[in-house]
Chain A
């Protein structure tokens, strides 16, 4: 049944082709040239616009970190100013292009820029998703749980190490913000403690690193975040209470230029 249909179609197509060929040969050459020229021009225009758009959308901010550090809550704080009814472990990234909630309330005279924020799940099985977004990021926020910090210290430092040695991050010198979340809790560690512990772990990691890709820090010296080529800053925040001033500042700095 299908074969017969295919044969019929083939005959029909051939007839159409013949007709088209005759038709084309009938048109005077000038018209043909202008038609082709117009087509080429529109194609050119589209490619130019596409590249412009791509460049413009390099205002992506990535929220990364381990599972349970509070990225989804921060995402919704940025977007809506409240964390609604709470969150569970994410299995898919949350993407949104919006005005920061705090800025939307203010009356601003100038144009406000929309920010494209992506919340990448931190579960170790979903590590592959991070690579898709790293190449497009204008700024990376590494969220750390200040309360449950020490038990996850090793995994967190390995994750951070992988981000900092990623090829596109090194090439584009993406700024990174180390955000210590959940400081509203009493047992939260301080910002400096967290930074120092991470630096210590990264020293060991960079000395044990066997791959040929980019390594961090200076060989022989203890690692410090100031040695990175891209700017690494630390800040504190609390997703639940909405204390995200430093985070918003970082975002506006990354997105502006």
Chain B
């Protein structure tokens, strides 16, 4: 049964709700749908699931883009109602006929709606019946199989003394269970078998007559596997005491060489030997305002692209398309939008946007443009372009404040340090950009401290030490082969002791598929509960960005022992100077994770850190 059906304008006014289904919805599913789905450019997906304490709903929607109306149906997730899509489309058609811009109450629609609902339900029932006829054949076969197996089971039971009454009860229930569709009944059969097997196990009878899988055998296999691992570990422990150190091989009679160790013995006292680079290298680019040039070139480029579109797209003829664009009467259909959207999708993909993301975006734009009336003197391609530009601006605009300085102030007032953790895959530039962020914060009179929690990669601690020396900020390090979570914890304690405002934690790079490393990372985040989890991603990444971010978020959510796990809060985009105008990675990352881009690294010196300029990125993407 439907829980609720709402009709509201894009401006937010509710025009009509079904008064019969008057159950108050738990939580606020409609608002959540708008915020998490429609405003996030995911309106191309089929449905949206909403969970509130005490209820779990599924929402389906449709738009009437010409009148600016949204139709939303809410129903319980466990009921897989089939008639909802159908109902929404007929409601849309009927309502748009009685809709008037000035009217705000539509009580006469109640009766129409009841009628439409009955019709839709009836149609769905018919469809179900026709499907069931096809499936009843499958059901009969399954039932026969089940009977055969049952017969064997009963036979087996009777052989033993004192067959349990439970078993007979089981088989009785088994036959009487309603078979809804072929698949479910097959599953039941399988399960029924298993329970029988387990019950008969205690008697240790050879029930392998039926030929299905034997729990006894499985248990034997498991114990065998256990024995195997034991033997392996024994071998390893036996080998350890026999460790022999390798001797240098000597060729000819050459004299013994001195130790091949060229490390500088005075590196610990580096401050005296190495000249300290002046920390003042100029203003970080974060504080410089970017000047966006006005779009005077866009007109000529549009003409060029439109020419290409005309050649590529349908050859409707020059006259009819010009006439339509002047008259502007055409209602946009999906077939009209397809060529323009395909061209846009290809253009986005040449700008290094992941293929999945480009596809979803185009679907979302299509759903928001379908049925809309073209304004006069506009081409289809320009309407689509404007809609896509709107959508891209919406996605790239951050959902929450990205002002770190403000957050640092707030944490300072509370008396505890602000902790930032840098995570990412190997080689994206975490340590380099950590130093850049430290430099920028320093310029704003914030006391920064670095924590070297990359205890795996050789040279990671030295790298951070060098940066710390050049910037003259304290660093907390514990060397290699230590547990990063504990190093981070101690670093934070040290920071609160010596009065640092910000702790920047560097972690080792790890692939998103590596389960033990992701577990270690989620442990680090869980133990230390940082204020900001910054995912560092390089702008050169292509389709892998989607995989990286979604797996990172998923693993951080799944492997965290707390019920409210911390996910990625922000993105740091690096190596931005290596891509000319192929800026699509920014869009892919923001779309898939919902986290805003807080910094952009555009070079290898300390000042090469800037903010993401949404307008210029959107312009570059659609050029």
Contacts and interface: CB of A to CB of B under 8 A. Distances in A.
A94 B101 CA distance: 12
Interface in B6-48: 6, 8-17, 30-31, 34-35, 38-40
B542 interface: no
B11 A119 contact: yes
Interface residues of A, number: 37
B105 interface: yes
A92 B318 contact: no
Interface stretch (A78-86, A132-140, A172-180): A78-86
Interface in A71-120: 72, 76, 80, 84-94, 119
Q: Which are the 7 A-B pairs with shortest beta-carbon distances?
A: A90-B12, A94-B11, A92-B10, A72-B12, A89-B34, A85-B14, A87-B12
Given A2-B317, A90-B12, A123-B39, 16 more contacts: A1-B315, A2-B315, A2-B318, A6-B318, A76-B13, A76-B104, A86-B14, A89-B31, A91-B11, A91-B34, A119-B11, A119-B12, A123-B35, A128-B394, A158-B401, A212-B289
Q: Which of B17, B34, B68, B444: most chain A CB closer than 10 A? A: B34
A76 to B, nearest CB: 6
Nearest to A157: B406
B12 A204 contact: no
Contacts of A124: 397-400
Contacts of A211: 289
30 contacts: A1-B315, A2-B317, A67-B35, A84-B14, A84-B105, A85-B14, A85-B16, A87-B12, A88-B12, A89-B34, A90-B10, A91-B34, A92-B9, A92-B11, A94-B11, A94-B12, A94-B13, A121-B12, A123-B39, A124-B397, A125-B395, A126-B39, A126-B394, A126-B397, A128-B394, A158-B406, A208-B405, A210-B405, A210-B444, A212-B289
A93 B393 CA distance: 16
A127 interface: yes
B104 A80 contact: yes
B342 interface: no
Contacts of A154: 401, 406, 410
B397 A127 contact: yes
Q: Which of A72, A92, A125, A128: most chain B CB closer than 10 A? A: A125
A7 to B, nearest CB: 12
A208 B406 contact: yes
A208 B318 contact: no
Contacts of B35: 67, 89, 123
Nearest to A86: B14
A5 interface: yes
B204 interface: no
Interface of A: 1-2, 5-6, 67-68, 72, 76, 80, 84-94, 119, 121, 123-128, 154-155, 158, 204-205, 208, 210-212
B287 interface: yes
B409 interface: yes
Contact of B104 (A84, A88, A89, A119): A84
B403 interface: yes
A212 B290 CA distance: 12
Q: Which of A6, A84, A91: most chain B CB closer than 10 A? A: A91
A205 B409 CA distance: 10
Interface string B300-333: 0000000000000001011000000000000000
A127 B9 CA distance: 20
A239 to B, nearest CB: 12
Q: Which of B13, B315, B409, B444: most chain A CB closer than 10 A? A: B13
Contact of B34 (A72, A88, A158, A205): A88
A88 B30 contact: yes
A70 to B, nearest CB: 11
Contacts of A212: 289
A2 B395 CA distance: 41
A126 B394 CA distance: 6
A113 B455 CA distance: 72
A125 B406 contact: no
B322 to A, nearest CB: 11
A91 B12 contact: yes
Given A89-B35, A91-B39, A158 B403 contact: yes
A179 to B, nearest CB: 18
Given A89-B35, A91-B12, A128 B397 contact: yes
A190 B208 CA distance: 78
